[in-house]
């Protein structure tokens, strides 16, 4: 019925903000889908325009950046007469009236294997949990937060070296591919709707700047996973007491060295030399810091940091 609407006839509204959403929007444009409008978060300043906005501007696509999805916005969406709404990392919860506007429904590209990691920041949460795999879900939206029926799903392995930046790139590519495959099958009514098992659901924690603080009685592996999840933002940090002041220390590059036994060489949080790097003892292993940044200063290789702050060695971080 809708088979011939793929390009010029099928009217699509795209809603997204992040770099991940930008990759997905590019894939829709490349496939020559008819994007009648893009909705993205308002600009906080000129330097922080969303990836989606920049792509839409480059392709002369109508852009909307509402602060709230109120009745005015609902009327705007209805006047655009979309056949389909596609949402990817938009950052706003859609009202039922918007979700139900398009005849073909509203599809969400979610960066996890639902029902695991519902909500915002699923990639960070998969890394925090030390997961060995994650994936992408194409979901038919309902009023809940990532609770709608699953239409398609594909998993991807997480390597021990993956961080937020590298894993987001992999998931963006996978999400774009899976969405393009799914749209035509959904239009042709070839996708089976699968109800989510709410008993298996997990919900993401919101990520805030202070979540990057390290407590040195945490397992070394958990600290390393925190670094992976929070790279490049918000990063991980600790405090060094120097001259009766607490100095905020950010760890820009670290590695994990697991203990060979249950014994530990130092008390937790103790700083010591580890070759040209800096080692910090934690339960079950050592955090090897290779690049360090004191608040208000430039990041430095560990060996240069030690030259400038020799008393850092032997201190106990808080």
Question: Of 56, 47, 64, which Cα lies nearest the Cα of 24?
Answer: 56
- Domain-ending residue, one of 200, 218, 242: 200
Given this model, what pLDDT does residue 261 score?
59
Contact indicator for 135, 161 with CB cutoff of 8 Å: no
Kindly state whether residues 261 and 157 are assigned to the same domain.
no
CB within 8 A of 263, min separation 6: which ones? none
Distance CA 224, CA 220 (A): 6
Domain boundary among 146, 168, 200: 200
User: Residue 49 has what pLDDT?
Assistant: 86
- List 279's β-bridge partners, or say none: 272, 288
Q: At what angle do helices 164-187 and 19-30 cross, to 10 degrees?
A: 40
**In-domain check, residue 317:** no
Question: Which structural domain range is residue 10 located in?
Answer: 3-200
What is the structure's pLDDT at 2?
A: 44
pTM above 0.75, yes or no: yes
Q: What is the CATH number of the domain that holds 90?
A: 3.40.50.170
Joined together, the tokens standing for residue 82 give 């979309």
- 61 and 187 co-located in one domain: yes
pLDDT on residue 3: 45
Burial class (CB in 10 A: 0-12, 13-18, 19+), 232: exposed
Question: What per-residue confidence (pLDDT) applies to 9?
Answer: 83
Looking at the fold, whether 55 and 122 belong to one and the same domain comes out as yes
Whether residues 177 and 55 share a domain: the answer is yes
Looking at the structure, do residues 153 and 299 belong to the same domain, yes or no?
A: no
At residue 44, the pLDDT reads: 81
- Indicate whether 141 and 196 sit together in one domain: yes
The closest alpha carbon to 63, from 43, 88, 40, belongs to 40
- For residue 16, what are the contacts with CB-CB under 8 A and spacing of at least 6? 22, 24, 25, 38, 39, 40, 50, 52, 87, 88, 89, 90
User: Mean pLDDT in runs of 10 for the chain (318 residues)?
Assistant: 56 97 97 97 82 97 97 98 98 96 98 97 97 98 97 98 97 98 95 97 93 96 98 96 94 90 79 93 95 96 96 96
Tell me: do 151 and 81 sit in the same domain. Answer: yes
| Residue 129 maps to a domain | yes
In a domain, 185, yes or no: yes
pLDDT of residue 258: 86
In a domain, 318, yes or no: no
Q: How far, in whole angstroms, is CA 249 from its chain's centroid?
A: 24
Residue 262 has a pLDDT of: 57
Element (H, E) at 80: none
Instruction: Look at residue 218 in the predicted model and tell me its pLDDT.
Output: 96
CATH number, position 277: 3.10.25.10
128 and 17 inside one domain? yes
Q: Where are the beta strands (DSSP E) in the chain?
A: 11-16, 34-39, 63-64, 84-88, 106-110, 133-140, 149-157, 236-242, 245-258, 271-274, 277-282, 285-294, 300-301
CA distances from 106 to 6, 12, 55 (A): 16, 10, 21
Q: Looking at the 3D structure of the chain, how many domains does it have?
A: 2
Tell me what pLDDT residue 263 has: 59
Domain boundary among 154, 177, 200: 200
Looking at the fold, whether 152 and 229 belong to one and the same domain comes out as no
Dist. CA 250–CA 247, nearest whole Å: 10
Residue 296's pLDDT is 92
Contact indicator for 86, 14 with CB cutoff of 8 Å? yes
């Amino acid at each position: 019925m809708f088979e011939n609407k793929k390009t010029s006839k099928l009217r699509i509204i795209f809603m997204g903000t992040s770099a991940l959403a930008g990759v997905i929007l590019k894939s829709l444009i490349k496939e020559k889908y008819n994007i009648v409008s893009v909705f993205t978060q308002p600009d906080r300043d000129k330097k922080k325009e969303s990836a989606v906005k920049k792509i839409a501007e480059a392709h002369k696509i109508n852009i909307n950046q509402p602060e709230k999805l109120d009745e005015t916005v609902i009327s705007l969406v209805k006047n655009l007469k979309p056949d389909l709404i596609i949402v990817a990392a938009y950052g706003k919860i859609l009202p039922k009236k918007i979700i139900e506007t398009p005849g073909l429904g509203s599809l969400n590209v979610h960066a996890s294997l639902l029902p695991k990691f519902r909500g915002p920041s699923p990639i960070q949460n998969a890394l925090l949990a030390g997961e060995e795999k994650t994936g992408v879900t194409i979901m038919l939206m309902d009023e809940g937060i990532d609770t709608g029926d699953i239409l398609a799903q594909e998993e991807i392995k997480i390597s021990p070296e993956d961080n937020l930046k590298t894993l987001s790139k992999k998931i963006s590519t996978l999400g774009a591919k899976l969405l393009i495959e799914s749209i035509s099958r959904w239009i042709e009514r070839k996708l089976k709707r699968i109800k989510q098992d709410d008993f298996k659901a997990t919900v993401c924690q919101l990520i805030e700047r202070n979540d990057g603080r390290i407590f040195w009685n945490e397992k070394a592996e958990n600290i390393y996973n925190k670094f992976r999840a929070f790279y490049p933002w918000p990063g991980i940090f600790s405090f060094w007491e120097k001259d009766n002041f607490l100095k905020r220390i950010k760890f820009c590059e670290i590695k994990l060295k697991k203990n060979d036994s249950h014994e530990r060489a130092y008390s937790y949080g103790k700083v010591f030399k580890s070759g040209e790097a800096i080692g910090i003892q934690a339960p079950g292993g050592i955090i090897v810091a290779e690049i360090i940044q004191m608040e208000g200063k430039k990041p430095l290789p560990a060996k240069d940091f030690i030259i400038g702050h020799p008393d850092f060695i032997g201190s106990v971080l808080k």
